[in-house]
Amino acid sequence: MADDGSSTRTERGGGWLERLRARMSGEPQDREQLLEDMREAASRGLVDADSLEMIEGVLEVSDLHARDIMVPRSQMTVLERDADPESLVPVVVESGHSRFPVIGDDRDEVVGILLAKDLLRYYAEGGPDEGGPRNQKNFDIREVLRPAVFVPESKRLNVLLKEFRKNRHHMAIVVDEYGGVAGLVTIEDVIEQIVGDIADEYDVEEDLPIRREGERQYTVRALTRIEEFNEYFGAEFSDEEFDTVGGLVAHAFGRLPRRGETTRIEDFEFRVLRADRRRIELLRVVAPRDATPPAEAGGD
């Protein structure tokens, strides 16, 4: 009995050692080799494509800094501390954001963060004097401001994500070496570097590449063909060099733009609503005139 147990343990131990030796002999020597091993595993069906992309994102995050993904200062949607109260709600509604840096005398003086829900709750409850649903004259933005978090441009994203989670913050103001505001970064921006783009309220149905949002304002999928865009808006963009609206917009920037950036091509304004590391996904288009969809125009 003792011999049998000893033999069994020896066999088990030998198998474990063999597996250990096999793992050690093929141990990746650097990150690039690790990625090659993971890509090979994906090609063999051992790891699915989404998991591989997330692993690549995790490794990339440790190399990226706040400056690499921040919304640049010029593209930040901010609210002025001393602005008339009635001018705040349209900015909040138009932008679609949930958090806004509030500035003092200039963009380098960020005095706090306003949450859209706090502004809307304030108006719904009628302000401190309960004077009614639109008691604007009593509104003081200072009463609802949250403290702003500041981080240097050089802050590594993996460290920033850890701080976001630990302190339950969702937005940070990025400052340069002189203390000036360089941009802003959100926890969603960091997470998207790992998991890819996160769907939001700007999603467009697969069978609806162009959707009217308001007078002269539309959301347009970047993969919409230029020919279709021209037909819808009565535009005359050439499709000889690019097939899609996303290609046209990227060419206008001369690079892959970040979310929130805006460019003008002829009489059309294009704002990037969604984009990842590889492509533009969704655009907001402000047209020079209200457009009638071809199907509706044909029915008249």
Instruction: Sort 267 into a burial class: Cβ within 10 Å, 0-12 / 13-18 / 19+.
Output: exposed
State residue 133's pLDDT score. Answer: 45
State residue 263's pLDDT score. Answer: 93
Q: Is there a single domain that holds both residue 179 and residue 90?
A: yes
Q: Is there a single domain that holds both residue 191 and residue 225?
A: no
CA 33 to chain centre: 29
Contacts of 251 (CB under 8 A, 6+ apart): 241, 242
Contact 152, 183 (CB under 8 A): no
- Whether residue 282 lies inside any domain: the answer is yes
Q: Of 165, 195, 225, which residue sits at a domain end? A: 195
Q: Is there a single domain that holds both residue 136 and residue 243?
A: no
Amino acid found at 54:
M
User: Considering its fold, how many domains does the chain have in total?
Assistant: 3
- Whether residue 19 lies inside any domain: the answer is no
Q: Is there a single domain that holds both residue 182 and residue 271?
A: no
Using the structure block, give the residue that is written with the tokens 């401001």: 145
- Per-residue confidence of the chain (300 residues) as pLDDT tens digits? 444 544 444 444 445 445 434 444 556 666 677 777 777 777 877 777 777 777 777 777 788 889 888 888 877 889 999 887 778 888 887 777 889 999 998 889 999 999 988 887 776 765 444 444 445 556 778 888 999 999 999 999 999 999 999 999 999 999 999 899 999 999 988 888 877 666 555 554 455 789 888 788 899 999 999 999 999 999 999 988 889 999 999 999 998 887 778 899 998 999 988 776 677 888 999 998 877 666 555 444
Instruction: Sort 286 into a burial class: Cβ within 10 Å, 0-12 / 13-18 / 19+.
Output: middle
- Whether residue 20 lies inside any domain: the answer is no
- To the question of pTM greater than 0.75 for the whole model, the response is no
Provide the phi-psi class of 117: left if phi over 0, else alpha when psi is between -120 and 50, else beta: alpha
How far apart are the C-alpha atoms of 36 and 28, rounded to whole Å?
A: 9
How far apart are the C-alpha atoms of 108 and 130, rounded to whole Å?
A: 34
CATH of the domain at 152: 3.10.580.10
User: What strand order describes the sheet that includes 181-186?
Assistant: 71-72, 181-186, 171-175, 150-152
Q: Is there a single domain that holds both residue 80 and residue 184?
A: yes
How far apart are the C-alpha atoms of 237 and 6, rounded to whole Å?
A: 80
Contact 197, 50 (CB under 8 A): no
For residue 199, what is the DSSP state? Answer: P
State residue 2's pLDDT score. Answer: 45
Q: Is there a single domain that holds both residue 218 and residue 139?
A: no
**Run of H or E including 41:** helix 31-43
How far apart are the C-alpha atoms of 208 and 228, rounded to whole Å?
A: 12
- Whether residue 3 lies inside any domain: the answer is no
Closest-CA residue to 50 (of 179, 196, 216, 168): 196
Domain, as residue range, for 52 = 33-63
How far apart are the C-alpha atoms of 79 and 106, rounded to whole Å?
A: 11
Q: CA end-to-end span of the chain, whole Å?
A: 94
